[in-house]
Structure 1
Amino acid sequence: MNVRQTLTAAALFLVWTNAAGAAACGNSAAGFGAWLEDFKQEAASEGMSRHVIDAALADASYDRAVISRDRGQKIFRQSFEKFSARLITPARLNRGRALLQRHANLLRQIEARYGVPGPVLVSIWGLETGYGADNGNFKTMQALATLAYDCRRSAQFTQELKDALKIVQRGDMSPAQMRGDWAGEIGQTQFMPSSYLKHAVDFDGDGRRDLIHSTADALASTANFLRGSGWRPDAGWEEGEPNFPVFLEWNQARVYARTLALLATKLSGGQ
């Protein structure tokens, strides 16, 4: 290798190490600002509107509350008996039954198109947000940026953050409207941005896929997700039956999937 080749190689090494350092994740707030600026450049280089990027991330900061929630998910370690008893309360059952009646026509239309029965959709709605009563109040962009910067699942949440920007760019929501749970879940049934892009539908026909304010869009999109995950119409959903694995696509925690199946069975009139 001659001197010119050596210098070129050294220059390339410096470029590579600087890029790697700039893109590095972190476990404290110290490097978040620099990481965020690098992310913005990366998103712009992939075709995202600079206006959308700047508007969505203008006030994003490292959110310690998000990190605390991410590190403290102990509820899924509970026994099925304890977990299900905590979530399937008489009040939740009664509310679910009332909503099945109120939205009977809508749910019939959704089942006709996607093959997913009303009790299943209402059960997800109830477990995720208390039937839309609590969609979460975390700033979605800030939550996703924090988790994308954090080293635990950086690659996964970097892509989710890019997908959230795409939702804004295609006009479904403004950055200010994007509020939800701590991990970036959006809407009445808590869609991650990647699932929103793939499965959100405009079922009420107003020209927008609004999973926050439109019950029709939220429930139909949930049915579309389940169908896309392998839901079989008229098949069972209890553990060991054909549709139970689809619940695990919705949430990988088996205790949650079993609770979801139980609530759907109760709402459908079973024991």
Structure 2
Amino acid sequence: MTRRLRSFPTFAKAALTGLLISTAPTTAQQCGGDFRQFLAGVKQEAVSKGLSPQAADRTLAGAQIDRKVLSRDRAQGVFKMTFLDFSKRVISGYRMKNGAANMKKYAGVFQREEAQYGVPAPVITAFWALETDFGAVQGDFNTVNALATLAHDCRRPELFRPQLIAAIEMVQHGDLDPGSTTGAWAGEIGMVQMLPEDIIKFGKDGNGDGHVKLKESAEDAIMTAGAFIEHLGWRRGEPWLQEVAVPQNLNWIETGLGKTKTGGQWAALGVQPRWGQISSNLPASLLLPQGRKGPAFLAYSNYNIYLEWNQSFVYTTTAAYFATRLAGAPVYTQGNPDPGLNDAQMKQLQTKLSQMGYDVGKIDGILGSGTRDAVQQVQQKLGMPADAWPTPELLNRL
């Protein structure tokens, strides 16, 4: 499945993730040097791909390097909030109310979208809320300048040059104004924050005006999001996340992403739904975002689509949980999780785990998948409950 580059969601500020690599010229040709010569090369490539010289000129004529974009790219924030803290912050009464109101207001569009692409309204609505607060906060970076800046910069030109050429195609279609279209610092546009290549590939005219304008048209945003999520592999008619109660004698090493049993097998081990019915025949992983004493969820195959949208575990679990709330699920049972680690302690733990031979990636204080896996393995070796939640007790044991 194609992964797209994700910058911080304009409102939620989740981690930059994803990967979208297209065929491009060599690095010497595609980045750096005189900016106007670089833009001339972009125009030449765009025209060679069938785009009009006029569209390229209109797009690139006023393009400028945006130093704020480079600063943001060099100093990307890191996502270190816990699931409980983040979900409480972003799933507010305001968003629940507005989410329900928007699902009602655009019920006909959502029905059309689900009939075509199979993605339920609450799933799209949760992304709509977290990405831009239902379109209210879409970012104020000039999109062409942002893409031109990052394409010219030699850090990741293979990611951004194709996006700049896709922006030229959007200008040719009349779906982007080079002077006035704004969005996120990494070039995402509109209510659900999508990159130009994805808009070209999956953009849908939801309101029948002959254009795909994700900034202004909720109908376009809904239909386009549905088409994109279907492309990522959404399984029609299947659940994505379900809160459950777990017995305290569970073998915790069997929990976590990538370790699946059928819903029926989990139920046989004493896992019980807090709402609805467990889908007995579907594979699911048991997620414990803050260990065995905190909230617990069965994550079905459709949960993986959230990780394609954004690879931050806390963000994706929150988005998936938010969608269940919009679909009628009650507030989770918070439980009483063991205290976690602060930033310095997390880095200390990662350093120790790395010295022990575990691949935790960068020592960054983020509880990512590599750190979770290492924590779980070490917990098991030490005879501790292997629920992948790092605690001061674990750090002291090491």
TM-score class, shorter-chain normalisation, is 0.7 to 0.9
**1:99 alignment partner, one of 98, 102, 107:** 102
Conserved in 2, the CA contact under 8 Å of 1:163 and 1:197?
yes
Matches within 5 A, 1:198-213: 198-213=201-216
1:256 paired to 2:262: no
C-alpha distance in 2 between matches for 1:202 and 1:112:
16
Q: Which amino acid aligns with 2:302?
A: N
Which residue type is aligned with residue 48 of structure 1? L
In the alignment, the residues of structure 2 paired with residue 132 and residue 148 of structure 1 have an alpha-carbon distance, to the nearest angstrom, of: 26
Following TM superposition, by how much is the alpha carbon of 1:222 offset from its aligned partner in structure 2, in angstroms? 0.2
Q: How many Å apart are 1:22 and its aligned residue? A: 6.0
Residues 1:61 and 2:64 aligned together: yes
Corresponding residue of 1:25? 31
Aligned counterpart for 1:164 among listed residues 167, 170, 184: 167
Is 1:87 aligned to residue 109 of structure 2?
Answer: no
What is the rounded CA distance, in whole Å, between the counterparts of 1:21 and 1:259 in structure 2? Answer: 38
Higher helix share: 1
The reply to whether residue 236 of structure 1 matches residue 239 of structure 2 is: yes
Aligned ranges 1:30-41 → 2 under 5 Å: 31-41=34-44
Aligned residue in 1 for 2:50: 47
Q: CA deviation at 1:246?
A: 1.0
User: Which has the larger displacement, 240-249 or 106-115?
Assistant: 106-115
Task: With the length of structure 2 as denominator, give the TM-score of the two structures.
Answer: 0.59
Q: Distance in 2 between matches of 1:192 and 1:21?
A: 22
Q: How many residues align?
A: 250
- C-alpha contact 2:109 2:206 (8 A) present in aligned 1: no
Question: Which whole-Å deviations, capped at 9, do the CAs of 1:201-246 have from their partners, x for residues lacking one?
Answer: 1122222122121111110110111111111122111262111111
User: Does the C-alpha gap of structure 1 residues 75 and 21 become closer, same or farther in structure 2, counting only changes over 3 Å?
Assistant: closer
Q: Deviations over 1:46-87 (max 9, x none)?
A: 333221111111121111111122233324343323332332
Change (3 A) 1:233 1:25: same
Counterpart position of 1:11: none
Q: Can you give the 5+ residue segments of structure 2 that lack an aligned partner in the other structure?
A: 1-24, 242-297, 331-398
Change (3 A) 1:39 1:109: closer
Following superposition of structure 1 onto structure 2, how do residues 43-192 of structure 1 map, counting pairs within 5 Å? 43-192=46-195
Q: Distance in 1 between matches of 2:193 and 2:40?
A: 28
Q: Which structure's residues are more often strand, by fraction? A: 2
Distance of 1:98 and 1:75 partners within structure 2:
32
Q: CA deviation at 1:255?
A: 2.2
The question of whether the paired residues in 2 share the 8 Å contact of 1:22 and 1:38 is answered with no
How has the CA–CA distance of structure 1 residues 73 and 88 changed in structure 2, closer, same or farther, with 3 Å as cutoff? farther
1:35–1:87 distance in 2 versus 1, CA, 3 Å: same
* TM-score, normalised via structure 1 length: 0.84
Instruction: Check the 8 A contact 2:167/2:176 in 1, yes or no.
Output: no
CA contact (8 A) 2:109 2:222 kept: no
Instruction: Give how far 1:32 is off.
Output: 3.1
Q: Structure 1's 114 and 46: CA in aligned 2 closer, same or farther, altered over 3 A?
A: closer
Determine the C-alpha separation between the residues in 1 that align with 2:320 and 2:208. Answer: 30
Contact 1:199 1:221 in 2 (8 A): yes
Q: Deviations over 1:95-135 (max 9, x none)?
A: 21222222223222221221111111111110111001122
Q: Which amino acid aligns with 2:79?
A: F
Contact in 2 for aligned 1:23/1:39 (Cα 8 Å): no
Identity of aligned residues (%): 42
Alignment CA distance shift 1:20-1:109 (3 Å): closer
**What is the CA–CA distance in structure 2 between the aligned matches of 1:169 and 1:217, rounded to whole Å?**
18
1:265 aligns with 2:324: yes
Counterpart CA distance in 2 for 1:87 and 1:188 is 17
Which residue of 2 is the match for residue 4 of structure 1? Answer: none
User: In structure 2, how many angstroms separate the alpha carbons of the residues matched to 1:108 and 1:138?
Assistant: 33
- Which range moved further: 113-122 or 101-110? 101-110
Unaligned runs of 5+ in 1: 1-18
Query: 1:236–1:72: structure 2 CA closer, same or farther, 3 Å change rule?
Result: farther
Q: Provide the aligned C-alpha RMSD in A.
A: 2.1
Residue identity matched to 1:122:
T
